[in-house]
Amino acid sequence: MRVPILMAIFAFLFSILIDAYIYIDIKKSLKNHRRLASIYGFSSICLWIFLLVVLLIPRREATQSIAFTMWALYSYSTVYISKFIFVVFSLAGGIPKIWHRRSLKLGKYVGLPLAIICFIAMWWGALITRHNIDVVNVDINSPKLPQAFNDYRMVQISDLHVGTWGNDTSFISRLVDSVNNQKPDVIFFTGDIVNRHTGELEPFVKTLSRLHAPDGVWSILGNHDYGDYIEWSSESEKEANLNLLKHLQQQMGWKMLNNQSDILVRKGDTIRLIGVENWGEPPFHQYGKLKASYPSDSANNTGLNDKNFKILLSHNPEHWRQEVTNISNIDLTLSGHTHAMQTEIKVGNWKWSPAVFRYPLWGGLYLGQNKNGELLQLYINIGAGEVGMPFRIGAVPEITVITLHKEPIPYSLKPVNK
């Protein structure tokens, strides 16, 4: 399938309007250097043609790599977002003319420096930040925790999207080494191991097989793992793609929880581990079935509101907000999915991401409350890979080290879901 025509039209109109403004501005400001305006106009036309070619290349077929398209669209974005910043300040500088006053040269003295900073920041995020790895340490307290699991170390990773790296396993290899160096008792992967199809995973099987923890590596599926972003020739071909992904994870030594549950055992004590398939919101498919994952069993006194300490792996954090806190007392949910939109600003303990406009809960630890007033916790890992465009600005690839403590929850935060 080709890129939607409305998206292509918008991109072209945006480009033409931006370039037309800058072209006219150059001609007015540099009257003795009109050749510069001609060069700018010619380069702009070349960029438009480049964009047209990129947008019209079919990219839904399973055999095609999307790496070129990702880098091409990102290159375009770095140029035109920077240009847009200049134009906004240039137009703002002309506002005094409405009152017949002298215009301000905001475009030249503010817009241009900010545009240059933006361009550098975007390429820094593509060439530098996306290769960095941030180890985040998180303490989870609960009086319900079995004594044998006090100081239990869990590592969470999420959203690898290995297809973005093609056949280059170097980053994923460093990530695996970093995870193993944390010496976790157990490792959890919370979905989106590929971008579009299982073939992307094959070069990384050997590397990811090196992940090791005494209590194993557990995983669930994310929205990108089902092959929903490709036009398959038949439903059976799509099903075979998903079955291959499950087989490869089994080959890697990972244990998948597809709407299932299991237990972690230590010195006779147990933790209930639940994993749901992707709990999607429109237009994503709804595969997750929480009640089926941990069904009620009166004979064993088990169910979503039993007294056992429970950990849920669920790719989409909205599942926690919209369902988990409404029907269960699951103590800890681990999610991914948001990527923090691959952009994050941190100042001390304060942090912000544009992801907040799509996901109220987008990264880090949150406290919630169910209908019975019991406190529930959610941790959102912002992922280690990229989708759509190959960059991470501030939102460094994350490894989360979670340590469990049998202590009262010390948080003074108000439940975020109430």
What pLDDT digit, counting tens, does each position of 160-185 carry?
Answer: 999 999 999 999 999 999 999 999 99
- Evaluate if residue 215 carries a pLDDT over 90: yes
Are 96 and 207 in the same domain?
Answer: no
pLDDT for position 60: 52
CA-nearest of 223, 195, 189 to 319 is: 223
Are 142 and 122 in the same domain?
Answer: no
Q: Which domain holds residue 59?
A: 5-127
Question: Considering the chain, what is the average pLDDT of its residues?
Answer: 91
β-pair partners for 141: 405
> Which two tokens mark 354?
């544009």
pLDDT for position 415: 76
CB atoms near residue 60 (< 10 Å): 13
258-272 burial: b if 16+ Cβ within 10 Å, else e = bbbbeebebeeeebb
* pTM for the model: 0.91
Q: In angstroms, how far is CA 153 from the centroid of its own chain?
A: 24
| Cβ contact 223:316 at 8 Å | yes
Residue % of the chain over a pLDDT of 90: 73
Are 149 and 99 in the same domain?
Answer: no
Residue 276 lies in a domain: yes
- Evaluate if residue 397 carries a pLDDT over 90: yes
pLDDT for position 300: 80
Are 139 and 123 in the same domain?
Answer: no
Going from the C-alpha of 377 to that of each of 113, 186, 369, the distances in angstroms are 43, 19, 8
What is the CATH number for 368? 3.60.21
Asked which of 64, 95, 127 is the last residue of a domain, the reply is 127
With bands split at pLDDT 50, 70 and 90, how would you rate the model's confidence at 28?
confident
Per the model's pLDDT, the better-predicted residue between 95 and 257 turns out to be 257
- Evaluate if residue 59 carries a pLDDT over 60: no
pLDDT for position 101: 81
- Evaluate if residue 318 carries a pLDDT over 80: yes
Are 219 and 316 in the same domain?
Answer: yes
CA-nearest of 292, 381, 280, 291 to 332 is: 381
Per the model's pLDDT, the better-predicted residue between 353 and 412 turns out to be 353
The separation between the first and the last C-alpha atoms of the chain, rounded to the nearest angstrom, is: 42
Residue 192 lies in a domain: yes
pLDDT for position 413: 61
Are 398 and 309 in the same domain?
Answer: yes
What is the number of domains present in the chain? Answer: 2
Task: Taking residues 13-40, report their average pLDDT.
Answer: 84
Residue 174 lies in a domain: yes
Asked which of 127, 147, 167 is the last residue of a domain, the reply is 127
Q: In angstroms, how far is CA 236 from the centroid of its own chain?
A: 29
Are 171 and 259 in the same domain?
Answer: yes
Rounded to whole angstroms, how far apart are CA atoms 238 and 232? 6
With bands split at pLDDT 50, 70 and 90, how would you rate the model's confidence at 12?
confident
Task: Taking residues 276-296, report their average pLDDT.
Answer: 91
Give Dmax over CA atoms of the chain in angstroms. Answer: 89
Are 169 and 87 in the same domain?
Answer: no
pLDDT for position 4: 58
Rounded to whole angstroms, how far apart are CA atoms 8 and 263? 50
pLDDT for position 335: 98
Asked which of 127, 159, 188 is the last residue of a domain, the reply is 127
Are 122 and 250 in the same domain?
Answer: no
Say which range, 29-43, 80-94, 156-170, has the weakest mean pLDDT: 29-43
Are 72 and 152 in the same domain?
Answer: no
- Evaluate if residue 61 carries a pLDDT over 70: no
